[in-house]
Amino acid sequence: MTPLSIFQDWKRNSIKGRIVLTMFRIAHIATLHPLLLVIMVPYLIIYRVCIEWVLGIEIPYKLTIGKGLALHHGQSLVINDNTVIGENCRIRHNTTIGNKQNKDGTYSGCPVLGNNVDVGANVCIIGEITIGDNVKIGAGTVVVKDIPANSIAVGNPARFFPASPPIEINHLIITAA
């Protein structure tokens, strides 16, 4: 990871998203080496206070996030630290991504989101599930089962449909989703 990689999300975000994700990337780098982690404890405390308490965004610094994440609005965002988020994903406000409590009191694993996943507002993605690459999840959707790649998911509980392939008309590419 290079020092410039902390800015890898800038092109896809507003100023708020840039601040949140730059602070996340710095905090995440601190977890990669035990000595660096000890040195960075004051920063990690500042990160947690600023991002979680002030902005209301729970993105734990241990979380695995691919490059190019876009946060739209970023309010009331909760992501479990064992979740994996692929590259070039979009996540909107009031979204929860994490594990669930099983009937026996144990907790499930966390979701794995593929690359280019677009998550709408007010979405819940819970449980040990996999969201494939190039998936769009509509606003208000509750996802508790795997969603295959190249799909659109909507509803509570989520139903998924294959995404329509782009149509080319007179050299213009038109997409349905």
pLDDT confidence of residue 141: 97
Quote the pTM value: 0.85
pLDDT confidence of residue 172: 59
Q: Which CATH number fits domain 3-149: 1.10.10.10, 3.40.50.800, 2.160.10.10, 2.40.50.140?
A: 2.160.10.10
11 or 133, higher pLDDT: 133
> 10 Å Cβ neighbour count for 91?
27
Which residue out of 28, 72, 93, 171 is catalytically annotated?
93
Is the CB of residue 79 less than 8 Å from the CB of residue 69? Answer: no
Q: Is 93 a catalytic residue?
A: yes
Express each pLDDT in 99-152 by its tens digit: 999 999 999 999 999 999 999 999 999 999 999 999 999 999 999 999 999 999
Q: Is 39 exposed, middle or buried (0-12, 13-18, 19+ CB in 10 A)?
A: exposed
pLDDT confidence of residue 165: 65
pLDDT confidence of residue 84: 98
Provide the pLDDT confidence category of residue 167 given band limits of 50, 70 and 90: low
Q: What is d(CA 57, CA 24) in angstroms, rounded to the nearest whole number?
A: 11
Q: What is d(CA 145, CA 3) in angstroms, rounded to the nearest whole number?
A: 37
Asked if residue 11 has pLDDT above 80, the reply is: yes
Q: What is d(CA 78, CA 91) in angstroms, rounded to the nearest whole number?
A: 11
Question: Where are the domains positioned within the chain?
Answer: 3-149
Provide the pLDDT confidence category of residue 32 given band limits of 50, 70 and 90: confident
Express each pLDDT in 54-74 by its tens digit: 999 999 999 999 999 999 987
